[in-house]
Chains A and B, each alone.
Chain A
């Protein structure tokens, strides 16, 4: 069965620190990859997505992610975090079988200290 792992459950950073959140998936076929963010009191929003092409994708608010097929990974990065980045981050995949259901990781809670 497909699964998505996010090994960091809670990350605490100071403003201006660099961020990298890990995401690994288990599925032998072709996947589409997503990062969603859930700010406190708000709904899930799409940060970025990878379907094909350049494995380095850029999203909103200065976030980027790199798809490394050999490592089954899609890590999220940001060079300098801000207090407003405090949120929960979810990695998700869909498998290209025609179905569109997202398999989510357990999420990583990011706290940025001013």
Chain B
């Protein structure tokens, strides 16, 4: 079974731009979660989607948003990029939403100049 895939793997943007990242979960998995990884803050939860609905949201500003499609694929969007948004963005999928093991993708490395 293929693992979680994320595209693109690397992205360079400038301040003020917006960006969309994509995640395809493991086949059959219906829950997708997004995390931000930075050297200073570590791994922080962004949001979780299950059956096209956002079930849970972390403590991030409204510039960070996401959605999930009927095939469980998910996208996250960051608008009005700031330098501090430079990070590795990780997507994780699990079979069901609650109390299930999450499997991570390789991440998208976003650099904001």
Contact = CB atoms under 8 A, between A and B. Distances in A.
Interface of A: 32, 34, 36, 42-46, 49, 51, 90, 92, 94, 96, 98-107
A100 B31 contact: yes
B87 interface: no
A106 B42 contact: yes
Contacts of A34: 101
Given A100-B48, A100-B94, A105-B42, 13 more contacts: A43-B105, A44-B90, A46-B101, A51-B99, A98-B98, A98-B99, A99-B56, A100-B31, A100-B97, A101-B33, A101-B58, A104-B35, A106-B42
Nearest to A44: B104
Interface of B: 31, 33, 35, 42-45, 48, 55-56, 58, 90, 92, 94, 97-107
B42 A46 contact: no
A105 B100 CA distance: 19
B23 to A, nearest CB: 12
A34 B99 CA distance: 12
A102 B42 contact: no
B48 A101 contact: yes
18 contacts: A32-B99, A36-B104, A43-B105, A43-B107, A44-B104, A99-B48, A99-B55, A100-B56, A100-B98, A100-B100, A101-B33, A101-B48, A101-B56, A102-B102, A104-B35, A104-B42, A105-B42, A107-B43
